[in-house]
Structure formats: structure tokens, C-alpha cells
Amino acid sequence: MYWPKYFKKTFFFALSMLLLTLAGAVFVAADLLILHNRRILPNIHVADIDIGGLTYEQAKEKLTEVVSSAAKYPVMVTDQTQMWPISSDQIGLFFDIEKSVAAAFNVGRGADFFQRWKDRLDARKQALFLPVSINIDKQKFSQFLKKLSLKINREPRNASLSFILKTKTVSLIPAVEGRILDIDQTIQHALATSQFRLFLIIDLKFLVQLPIVTDKHFAGINSMLSLYSTHFKPWDYDRNANLRLATQRIHGTILKPGVIFSYNEKVGNRTQQQGFRMAPVIFDGKLIPDWGGGVCQVSSTLYNSVLMANLDIIERINHGRTIGYVPLGFDATVVDGQIDFRFINNLSKPIMLYSVVTDNELFFAVLGDASNTPPIIELDYVVYKVIEPIEIKQPDPTLEIGKEVIDEPPQRGFKVATYRIRTINGKEERQLLSIDDYDPVNKIIKIGSKPKTQPLSTVR
């Protein structure tokens, strides 16, 4: 039979619509059967408990039984590095069985027809895990967290460098962030977090306190470049107090490449208000008491350590007379507002000035990057002239006639040239540092000129 083309199209269109209508009717009928079925879809889990295929009442019964056993195990709270157990009763933990089963039962029973079928097909392909609903007694949990915070809160710790004098090794002590347990946020997070296990683990939340000095502050400082020490007398308390105070103000100074160090700027004025004490200083070739006596030993010790680290000196002046704690020509005097000791970090990486003071010895180390390790360096001096002291006798009206007192022991004077000798690839390079003059200390003898006191005659 021959059918016109128009009738063919109409027939197939009507047939397709009929099939679609029948399929739709089948899906609707199946959908209604599922909606009226009191069983949960297969492969549905609450936490790790399989309740798929069970009726609503059976699922509640099974979940209640498992939860009652799980409640005997402690809840764990954690800061991601450590865990602390707590019983369910301590925080008033309650598993909401009704709400959990209702959520499982509603899978494949939502308002959207197509979403319902998608959920049903997905559940047949693979297991679907739903969180268990919980409630916590906020007041009880808060009390537990307050007690716990006393143990786990911590202050921030600044980064620092450790220099071990014996082994001459440098190590970084990393910064540590401070933290304060945020009780409200921890409780809110615990209630808002989906729990997919009956064995609960609750994350603690903290307010972070950042350290002021971080590890980056010491970047590029990992090795000892130089070390120099001088001795002092332990019993000279006032002088040693000044020495320690000046050293303390320099200790830990970091200089980036190209930065100039000024001793006077770093240590500050040597006054009573700044904590310095009266002790002997050299003034006009003589020892006199003054505020801050002893700080020149600090500048001189640092000067030698700086030389050994291969750093460039900008300003340095010798004392007017020789001193005993460093070799000739290797001292560096300082005077408030007048004479400074300055040098520059001419290296490619930062350096740090590190000091150690024992009972009778002062150490200064220059720390820096291993790539800036200096060549072999020696310090040397050459005496060009020796000036002998002379003996000078001076009348002293405070001394009786016939008595003599040596005012100060004599010292020789010198003219000295100092050198830094660097050995590079087996070849010595001799660098002239300075030519210094030290005045002699003459022998001053005080001659008594005060008449002797006559004894009173006895009257009879």
C-alpha cells in the first residue's frame, strides 16, 4: 500500500508521542510507588552505618542501637598535632536519630521529579554516605574548652639565632606563632561540620598571635665569619658593668649589605641616666674616673673581630697611651659625640654581631652567610719607634718633707704600623690599616713639701 509522505510523518509522530506518554506514565507510576514505599533507597548510609533498604522504623532502631554503643567511646578534640579525649556526657553530646533517618529517607523523594530519579540512579551505582546529625550542650562544652585552653594556649616566640662558642656553630631557633583557643568558634564549627563517623573528632579553632621577629629576619646568617676575645678583671665591678651594658646594646645587631655601623649611635651616650657607672678612662694621657669607663674594651674587641671578618673600617682612632687587653695598634677608642668607631658591611649578605660575656672574657663574633667566609686573615704590627718615659719630680704640699710617692707607673710610648694580612690562593696580601702614635707615661714622683708637725711640749 502506498501512503503519501505527509501521512507517514503524521503516523510516526503520533506513534512517538504515544510511546513517550506510555513511558512517562510508567515513570510516574514507578515514582508514586517509590514515594509511597516506606523503605529507604539501597546503598544509603548514615555516617558509616548501612541503613539502605530498611524501613523508616527499622533504620531508627538500627541506628539507635549502634549509636548507643558508640556513645561509650570518647570524643576527640584536636589541634591537628595532638588529641585530647572527652566523654560524651562531659559535652552533652546527643545524636539526633530522627533527623538523621529523615535525611536518609528523603533521598530520592525530593520536590523535583528529575532530581528524584537522578538520586535514585546514583544510589544504585554507588553507596551514598550522609552525615549523622548531632547536638552539643554549649555550656558544658565551653567549660571543658576553658580548662583545656589553660594547657594549650601559648605566647608567640620570636625567632632567634643560637651561637655555640665551643663548636663555633650557628643555628636558627624558629619563630613560633602564639595562639588563643577560640571557644565560640570551636563550638560553632563543631555544630556546623558534617560528621560522617560516629567516632567524633572535633577541630579546635584558635586566634593566632604572630611573633614580631620571624625566621626571615635571620635569612642569610648561618655561619661564623670571625671571633675575637679579650680578658678583663672580674673584681672591677663598675667597669665590668659598663662593659656588659655596652655589649648588650650591640649584641644581635644585623647589618644588611652596604649598611654602616656606628658604635656611638648603637651604644648611646655614656651617662648615669643611661645606666653607666663611674670607672677609669684615659683622658689627656691620664687615667681619670668618668662615666662609662671600660666601654673602649668593647669597641676594641669588636674592631678586631670586624677586621678578622674582612670588613672595611670607616672610622677608628687609637688611644693616647697603650692599653693591655689588645696588641699595639689594635685598639679603638670612643668618646661621646667626638670619637666614633664605624665600619661598613661590604659583603654580599647580611651580618650579625653576636657577643658572649663570661666572668672574665668578652667575645665578639661576626656571623653571616657561609658564602662570605673570609680568607685566612692574620693581624700584625710593626714598631717603628720606642719612646722611653722620663722621670719627673713634683713637689706635693700634701706630703710631709722627706716622703716620696710614685703617682703612676711609667709606660713606654710607641709609633706603630698595623697590617691585615690576607692569604688568597696561597698568596699573601698585606694591607696597611693605620700608623698610630702612643705617648709615653712618664714616671711622676711626688716629693713631700709639707713641714713636719712638731710634737707639743709637756708643761711641768
Res. 207 pLDDT band, cuts 50 70 90: very high
Least confident of 3-7, 242-246, 378-382, 397-401: 3-7
Domain hosting 318: range is: 219-373
Closest C-alpha to 196, from 45, 75, 85, 65:
45
394 and 313 in one domain? no
CA atoms within 13 A of residue 203's CA, in its CB half-sphere? 10
CA distance readout (Å), 417 to 308, 384, 386, 440:
17, 7, 12, 17
**What whole-number distance in Å separates Cα of residue 267 and Cα of residue 295?**
9
Chosen domain end from 357, 373, 389: 373
Q: What is the pLDDT of residue 162?
A: 92
Quickly tell me which residue has 529523615 as its cell.
102
Cα dihedral sign for 446, 447, 449, 451? positive
**What whole-number distance in Å separates Cα of residue 243 and Cα of residue 294?**
6
**How does pLDDT run across 385-399, given as a tens digit for each residue?**
999 988 887 787 777
94 and 7 in one domain? no
**What whole-number distance in Å separates Cα of residue 348 and Cα of residue 370?**
11
**How does pLDDT run across 12-22, given as a tens digit for each residue?**
555 565 555 65
The structural domain count of the chain equals 5
164 and 148 in one domain? no
72 and 3 in one domain? no
Determine the Cα angle at 259 with ends 258 and 265, to 5°.
160
Res. 460 pLDDT band, cuts 50 70 90: very low
244 and 207 in one domain? no
Find the mean pLDDT for residues 65-89. 84
More confident residue, 68 or 458: 68
**How does pLDDT run across 265-320, given as a tens digit for each residue?**
999 998 889 888 867 677 666 666 666 688 999 999 999 999 999 999 999 999 98
Beta pairing partners, 289: 280
pTM of the predicted protein model: 0.73
Q: What is the pLDDT of residue 265?
A: 96
Q: Are strands 351-357 and 361-368 parallel, antiparallel or unpaired?
A: antiparallel
Q: What is the pLDDT of residue 96?
A: 84
390 and 337 in one domain? no
Q: Tell me what the pLDDT averaged over the chain comes to.
A: 86
Structure-block grid coordinates of residue 340 = 666614633
Determine the Cα angle at 24 with ends 22 and 27, to 5°.
110
253 and 344 in one domain? yes
The answer to whether 384 touches 407, Cβ cutoff 8 Å, is: no
208 and 164 in one domain? yes
**How does pLDDT run across 404-456, given as a tens digit for each residue?**
777 778 889 999 999 999 998 889 999 999 999 999 988 888 777 777 766 65
Q: What is the pLDDT of residue 459?
A: 47
247 and 209 in one domain? no
Find the mean pLDDT for residues 187-203. 86
Closest C-alpha to 376, from 303, 327, 310, 306:
310
144 and 27 in one domain? no
More confident residue, 329 or 123: 329
Structure-block grid coordinates of residue 416 = 706603630
Quickly tell me which residue has 689594635 as its cell.
330
Quickly tell me which residue has 674592631 as its cell.
303
Say if residue 71's pLDDT is above 60.
Answer: yes
Q: Are strands 443-450 and 391-400 parallel, antiparallel or unpaired?
A: parallel
Q: What's the distance, Cα to Cα, between the start and end of the chain in Å? A: 185
Q: Return the biggest CA–CA distance within the chain.
A: 185
Rounded to 10 degrees, the C-alpha dihedral 253/256/258/261 comes to -10
The CATH number assigned to the domain holding 400 equals 2.20.230
Quickly tell me which residue has 678583671 as its cell.
233
48 and 194 in one domain? yes
Per-range mean pLDDT, top range of 51-55, 97-101, 336-340, 378-382: 378-382
Say if residue 384's pLDDT is above 90.
Answer: yes
**How does pLDDT run across 138-155, given as a tens digit for each residue?**
999 999 999 999 999 999
Say if residue 374 is exposed, middle or buried (CB neighbours under 10 Å; 0-12, 13-18, 19+).
middle
273 and 224 in one domain? yes
Beta pairing partners, 170: 163
Say how many residues make up the chain. Answer: 460
Beta pairing partners, 387: 413
Beta pairing partners, 231: 361
Chosen domain end from 199, 232, 257: 199
Run of H or E residues at 415: strand 413-424
